[in-house]
Amino acid sequence: MKTHLTMKDIARDLNLSVSTVSRALRDDPTIAEETRKMIKQYAAEHHFKPNTLAASLRTRESNIIGVIIPDMSNLFFAMVIAGMEDEAEKNNYSIVTVQSREDYKTEVKAVHTLLKTRVDGILVSLSKTTTNYDHFKEVIDNHVPIVFYDRICTGILTDKVVCTDYKGAYDAVDYMIKTGCRRIGYFGSDSNLEIAKNRKKGYIDALRKHDIDIDPELIVNCDTGKEAKLLAPDILKMNNPPDAILAINDSTASGILYAAKKLGIKIPEQLSLCGFGDGYISKHTFPSLTSVFQDPFEIGRQAMRLLINKIKHPELFDHITNKVVNTSLQIQESTRKLPD
Amino acid sequence: MKTHLTMKDIARDLNLSVSTVSRALRDDPTIAEETRKMIKQYAAEHHFKPNTLAASLRTRESNIIGVIIPDMSNLFFAMVIAGMEDEAEKNNYSIVTVQSREDYKTEVKAVHTLLKTRVDGILVSLSKTTTNYDHFKEVIDNHVPIVFYDRICTGILTDKVVCTDYKGAYDAVDYMIKTGCRRIGYFGSDSNLEIAKNRKKGYIDALRKHDIDIDPELIVNCDTGKEAKLLAPDILKMNNPPDAILAINDSTASGILYAAKKLGIKIPEQLSLCGFGDGYISKHTFPSLTSVFQDPFEIGRQAMRLLINKIKHPELFDHITNKVVNTSLQIQESTRKLPD
DNA sequence: TTTAACGTTGCAAACGATTGTAACTTAACC
DNA sequence: GGTTAAGTTACAATCGTTTGCAACGTTAAA
């Protein structure tokens, strides 16, 4: 291994001390203008790259943010990371990502990996199977700032960034009612995740507001496209079928769409369909899918920004912060039009 | 900042020297069984986490792999990362990801970021706009192992992991011909990426093998769904329209599908359609899309495995390695059936 | 009894930066 | 001329590990 150029080398070549070199490179005003320029030029010419490990060791700051992702191959999360990366880069932070694979034990391990890496802060979205939060308490005990995004943790008091799940679902149902739909179904899971609860609540409250009775037969426990393809036909073939369905995510909506088309049901004439998601699937279906857009990129950005603020200005952010990213109903072809 | 427990603390509490503690924790056989056990137990009980920064500084190994991704919100790459993560974790490596956003300058910056981070190795897929490779030469000059994946670099001699783009395209066209198609079009870009060249070559060679003339009118320079929606109608409405199209990726295929359906063209009766990709979009279209599956997860895994091998056993892997991941034609609903 | 060998542990110097403080030079002031 | 202050730069400790080598006690061989 060829060894890198170090400050020591520069100091020797320029007949200076290491501390002077260090200070010059960090623009310390106590170093004479002339000396500083000389050092910087020498460094640039020789492609000097300061050893961040050594600096981190000394300053106790790694400038690395740890991110825990339930499933990296889920496009929503992939885009969340993209947003985080974007914001991190602007602030001179790197990110290391670890997956929990929707598994509690893996999540615990991920937390320990990040703690060992001495990250300056952690961003995390809960795995579907997590119900115990001791590993997060450990993070807090270690004084490592932590921010939850999207799938937040209610069992513990922390900062979080969520999107308006309740309002998104509410608005979607409200919209479909205004287009004339009356029997509106819901496909979603009964998991313990806040986002699942909130979306369902939005659905129910919208119906209530319009004095429409809730029919339990129209509520299906299902949150993937695969399941939806299997479960949708039953509900679509009933005597009094729904004229609209809100799905907890686009994958599920796409599954319902597929099943409906197989049955010859006309979309949106006979059935309005609305999903929830990152805007990817919804563009590729036919007809394109009306969907509550979540803006994962923005969620990632906001979460990263909040975390960096907490790291850099702990005194200003010593309280719990709750950021909300707006969802927006993106009306496309799978829902009826509003009457003029 | 509360300070962490260090080896020094353990040594003091146990009346030993730091070196003994260090050796014991790394299972050095020169440390007496009994002492070792005692130290390990104490460390475990007190949740000791060795400071990897210090260790890295000393050993000059960071156990971090740098990954450069053209676009993290592209599901294909998201899944590649998932595969890398999987393999890295098994070998006790972490990964830090940086995006190039398909931009040459950003890519150069990304390389420097990783070099500064003192990663043990780099995995990279070229941005669409990169034509100069000096930044990669710099990596090699710094003796940092580098492996290209998917979008490889031919301007420089390095290890790489690719999938069988040529064969994938060839087989797809061959299959469509066997189902009776004769006028087969191609939607793809003329970029300088190897994958683009190889897919087009596969398409052309398959036609040649069956003595079908190549009609330049059926070849469209286009590689996104958006463009395809705009460009496809022209070719579909010509007097002598294609009866099949191979698209360079699923997004493009999905765009063509959309346009065809708008025009009332029956899929696959009037037009067979085949894409190329990670198997995600192709499941969500209607009809579902026949597509050359690339297995991004496997590509990521293989690339990571190769890189780690080069890092750990440089003497065994001092030659250029070229790994190939097989593609497979996934026949779904958008292509005609083979005659019995 | 001496010596060699072995099994264990400790000493101290790295790794490459950061930073409080000391030391030096020069100019300015009384 | 002596004192002081400002402006520069150097010294040395430090961050928490790793690791070559020295040193120790014990046992076995000579």
pLDDT single digits (tens) B91-118: 989 888 888 989 999 999 899 989 988 8
Mean pLDDT of B132-155: 92
A289 token code pair? 């899918």
Domains A62-162+296-325 and A165-295 equal at CATH topology level: yes
Question: Mind listing the pLDDT tens digit for each residue in B177-195?
Answer: 999 999 999 999 987 789 9
Taken in order A25, A30, A33, A34, the sign of the CA dihedral is negative
Q: Contacts of residue B116 in chain A, CB cutoff 8 Å? A: 49-50, 52
**Cα diameter, chain A:** 91
Strand C within 7 A of B57 CB: yes
The number of CA neighbours under 13 Å toward the Cβ of B304 is 29
Strand D within 7 A of B55 CB: yes
Across the interface, of A52, A96, A258, the residue whose CB is closest to B286 is A258
The torsion angles phi and psi of B153, rounded to 5 degrees, stand at -115, 120
A249 token code pair? 């995510």
- Nearest to B128, CA basis, from B145, B103, B158, B153: B103
Rounded to a whole number of angstroms, the distance from the CA of B325 to the nearest CA of chain A is: 19
For residue A82, give the amino acid letter. A
Strand C within 7 A of A11 CB: no
How far apart are the C-alpha atoms of A251 and B202, rounded to whole Å? Answer: 33
DSSP A337: P
Which residues on neighbouring strands pair with residue A149, listed in sequence order? A161
Which 276-315 residues of chain B touch chain A by CB within 8 A?
280-281, 283-286, 297
Q: B251 touching A, CB under 8 A?
A: yes
Query: Would you state the CATH architecture of domain B165-295?
Result: 3-Layer(aba) Sandwich (3.40)
pLDDT of residue B72: 80
pLDDT at A258 over 60: yes
**What is the β-pairing status of strands B146-149 and B159-163?**
parallel
Strand C within 7 A of A25 CB: yes
Residues making up chain A, counted from first to last = 340
The torsion angles phi and psi of A72, rounded to 5 degrees, stand at -70, -20
Mean pLDDT of A100-128: 92
Mean pLDDT of B304-323: 91
pLDDT of residue B3: 66
Yes or no, beta carbons of B116 and A56 under 8 Å apart: no
Element (H, E) at B298: helix B296-312
* Structure confidence at residue B1 as a pLDDT band (50, 70, 90): very low
Q: A94 touching B, CB under 8 A?
A: yes
The answer to whether A121 and A136 have CB atoms below 8 angstroms apart is no
DSSP codes joined into one string, A180-230 = T--SEEEEE---S-HHHHHHHHHHHHHHHHTTPPP-GGGEEE--SHHHHHH
pLDDT of residue A265: 96
* Structure confidence at residue B234 as a pLDDT band (50, 70, 90): very high
pLDDT of residue B286: 87
CB atoms within 10 A of CB A37: 12
Mean pLDDT of A309-319: 88
Class of domain B63-161+296-323: alpha beta
Helices A225-236, A250-262: axis angle to 10 degrees equals: 40
DSSP codes joined into one string, A105-140 = HHHHHHHHHHHHTT-SEEEE---TT----HHHHHHH
A280 token code pair? 């990817």
Distance between the alpha carbon (CA) of B16 and the C1' atom of D21, Å: 18
Per CATH, the number for A62-162+296-325 is 3.40.50.2300
Distance between the alpha carbon (CA) of B26 and the C1' atom of D11, Å: 36
Strand D within 7 A of A116 CB: no
DSSP B74: S
Strand D within 7 A of A75 CB: no
* Structure confidence at residue A3 as a pLDDT band (50, 70, 90): low
Which 154-213 residues of chain B touch chain A by CB within 8 A?
none
How far apart are the C-alpha atoms of A67 and A272, rounded to whole Å? Answer: 37
Domain boundaries, chain B: 7-50, 63-161+296-323, 165-295
pLDDT at A1 over 50: no
Across the interface, of B56, B62, B82, the residue whose CB is closest to A73 is B82
pLDDT at A215 over 50: yes
